[in-house]
A and B are shown apart, each in its own frame.
Chain A
């Protein structure tokens, strides 16, 4: 019969085995004599037993050896220079080291550590011992002094003298101007800030080198953000002397070199970059604030959060980024591990496509907001580390108000609203979330059950990130999770990103003429009280119009070994290794 045990498993089988049944080798007398050993040994039963025991013994010995080496393996090795090396477990290595690459969480961390900007916020220590940015006080970084004109249309930077990059090149106006030029021509982040926020149209009229250490930027209109924008981590200054060595005709702005190399004036430079595996930061001995206490930072990619947990518990890594709330609750109790928690600026919501039915109806959107079991989600998914989203603006930013949040878990009210909107029996729709995002999957399952209470039948779609982005950019998916943060601590800036109908990243297609107009005027006006009042009105409209299903502000948490000190938090959420040290 031709079905051998392999055939039974049905896996692919080499051709000859498929046709011929298990063969027995031809036992001709020729074959026999060729295979018989010289001499005939008499075998006693005891000898046979010894033979099998040897095999058994060998087997047992091997197992024992494996166990021994395993145990020895766990004991592990000693780290070189443990006190000055930091090992970080991250979910993802950065996609590119170039500032002009679209902002991602991993990219923000690179920018925080490798680049230095013209201005910064003064650092202050919070009651929890964590260092924050003082949004009310701006300080000079690469710019020692700066002046803003009275009409708030121009700003002049006086660069700090004697600042050197890791390669020894000095900071001067030329390198600043070239950084601006590159950013302008790459038509990416720098360009976006300059054209969308500052409304600059022409490079040469806007950017001027005044002398070797002075640079002036002039805007066509007054902007309330004329100083604050320069603090953003995407606007670091490049070491142009180094970068210019790598320009080619095909690549006049060194895009491919800067994607995998760094040349700047920040506290670190990247000495090894292996995407998908690790990034190694080495200290810049010439950093103007002094050499960092941690001379080397090794960032390892470990996509599974549970692995990061195990690593930080075992002490194999010093820092574990982006752990799940459940895991944080667990790891807090472990000896030797500390969890730092800040309010942060993330807002996690389910955005609805406001342009397509049934989500073009306000009542439907409000109804869904009344179906969310926020208390249960806060407990079971977030372990009390988050807060309800009560406004589209982050709680820690000036201009925030939670006075307009009126939603509770009220299925009866939801059903009534749906009936008013013409859906007494509910409707069918889809909710998309990202592959690999456990939190979103947990919430999706909970929301599915919750929405079902009013007859809204939600099909869950788990999509790879690229597909999801494509779908919501094109408006092809009715509901999707979206977690984002705005770097600039300014309500109008945030509203402009997500609520302005002209914004490219307003994927929910929320449109309110009054909101648009209020945002536009707030971006131009310098009358602070009026701006605040306008933004309050924007928040009121948004909460009533409910373009999103408001969920949680998850905050930002970092698990570190207890001997890691100096934790700080910055709005882009990337960890600043310069502030850290190990005891």
Chain B
């Protein structure tokens, strides 16, 4: 714990990351109290108002307050991303463990399948899948999860491959431990570290992907507050000089993804004993 505090005080990056994370958590929990309008209420007479005292970030084409929608969108974006990554983690880690531990034809087959999933143009695949399944929030999360599973599996597999040769594994085997207990009690705890670091980065990536999918219209549906969807409704207006509709949601995306990247760096540094020396 003290190590954590010492680290944070020495690394501005981590401090920024934590602050931004706190900001987002506050947005999620206290949205109704932080905003003054309803996120889906259209007020046609107030459409495309520039930022003002009444509407801090201006209004969009339907007259909805952008600041309100950005705050509420934190819920949607983070929910989708965290669920997707959690799911991918929960599925990818065991798979990675198994295919790393057992080096047989099944493992090779699974690796080829992953190769193959990852060779698709990710974006178009995501678009097509969401179109097939319907534009619900959960479907977007599921699609993203499917796209992330190979990554987690590979990470774990790489660690397992090196760890299984360690002396303590052979020692455990000599003392009669079963495959299962070796995998879960001896290897997994040590293999998890890079995957946990990856979680943070992946959440950031999931936010970008969700936004991108919504931008082309293959993500969540109107008028759900979601950062990418908000940018897309603002895209049309940009060329006509209306800058606030697309700018602020984009900034929200940048800040959010940045916070997870910084957090990822922090977790990486904290979990790796060697980096402590390299100030």
Contact = CB atoms under 8 A, between A and B. Distances in A.
Check whether chain A touches chain B (CB < 8 angstroms). Answer: yes
The 3 closest A-B pairs by CB, nearest first: A12-B118, A380-B44, A449-B42
Contact of A460 (B63, B148, B201, B222): B222
Given A3-B155, A12-B122, A306-B236, A449 B198 contact: no
Interface string A329-369: 01000000000000000000000000000000000000000
A3 B222 contact: no
Contacts of A330: 240
A379 B221 contact: no
B98 interface: no
Given A306-B237, A327-B240, A9 B40 contact: no
Nearest to B47: A380
A444 B233 CA distance: 14
Interface string A225-243: 0000000000000000000
A309 interface: yes
B158 A309 contact: no
Contact of A10 (B45, B119, B151, B223): B151
Interface in B158-205: 158-159, 161, 194, 197-198, 201-202, 205
Given A8-B264, A445-B42, A462 B221 contact: yes
A310 interface: yes
Contacts of B122: 11-12
Given A3-B198, A327-B240, A441 B222 contact: yes
Interface of B: 40-45, 47-48, 61-64, 115, 118-119, 122, 131, 135, 148, 151, 154-155, 158-159, 161, 194, 197-198, 201-202, 205, 217, 221-223, 236-240, 264, 268, 272
Nearest to A379: B45
A457 B100 CA distance: 51
Contact of B161 (A13, A19, A449): A19
B236 A438 contact: yes
A2 B158 contact: yes
Contacts of A373: 44
Contact of B45 (A19, A305, A380, A461): A380
Nearest to B41: A449
Interface of A: 1-3, 7-13, 15, 18-19, 304-307, 309-310, 326-327, 330, 373, 376-377, 379-381, 435, 438, 441-442, 444-446, 448-450, 460-462, 464
30 contacts: A1-B272, A7-B155, A7-B198, A8-B201, A10-B151, A10-B198, A10-B201, A12-B119, A13-B118, A18-B158, A19-B158, A309-B240, A327-B240, A330-B240, A373-B44, A376-B44, A438-B236, A442-B62, A445-B42, A445-B222, A446-B42, A446-B62, A448-B42, A449-B43, A460-B221, A460-B222, A460-B223, A462-B217, A462-B222, A464-B131
A377 B154 CA distance: 54
B201 A442 contact: no
A327 B236 CA distance: 10
Contacts, number: 93
B239 A306 contact: yes
Nearest to B236: A306
A328 B44 CA distance: 18
A19 B114 CA distance: 14
B236 A449 contact: no
A10 B148 CA distance: 8
Nearest to A460: B222
A136 B161 CA distance: 87
Contacts of A450: 42
Interface centre among A19, A305, A438, A445 (most CB of B within 10 A): A445
Nearest to B150: A12
B24 to A, nearest CB: 20
Given A306-B240, A309-B240, A381-B44, 18 more contacts: A1-B194, A2-B155, A2-B159, A3-B198, A9-B201, A11-B122, A12-B118, A304-B236, A306-B238, A309-B239, A326-B48, A330-B240, A380-B44, A438-B236, A445-B40, A446-B44, A446-B62, A462-B222
A448 B223 CA distance: 9
A307 B239 contact: yes
A327 B61 CA distance: 12
Contact of A449 (B40, B118, B205, B239): B40
B121 to A, nearest CB: 10
A326 B241 CA distance: 13
Contacts of A9: 201, 205
A568 to B, nearest CB: 29
A462 B158 CA distance: 43
A304 B48 CA distance: 19
B236 A444 contact: no
Contacts of A379: 44-45
A450 B43 CA distance: 9
Contacts of B264: 8
Interface centre among B44, B161, B197, B198 (most CB of A within 10 A): B44
Contacts of B42: 445-446, 448-450
Contacts of A307: 239
A99 B42 CA distance: 42
A442 B44 CA distance: 9
A75 B224 CA distance: 42
B175 to A, nearest CB: 29
A160 B26 CA distance: 79
Contacts of A11: 122
A309 B239 CA distance: 9
B197 A3 contact: yes
Contacts of B159: 2
A10 B158 CA distance: 15
A435 B217 contact: yes
Contacts of B238: 306
Contacts of B198: 3, 7-8, 10
Nearest to B237: A306
Nearest to B121: A12
A412 B37 CA distance: 23
A441 B61 CA distance: 10
A150 to B, nearest CB: 56
A442 B239 contact: no
A309 B236 CA distance: 11
A45 B222 CA distance: 60
Nearest to B117: A12
Contacts of B154: 18
Interface centre among A2, A18, A373, A376 (most CB of B within 10 A): A18
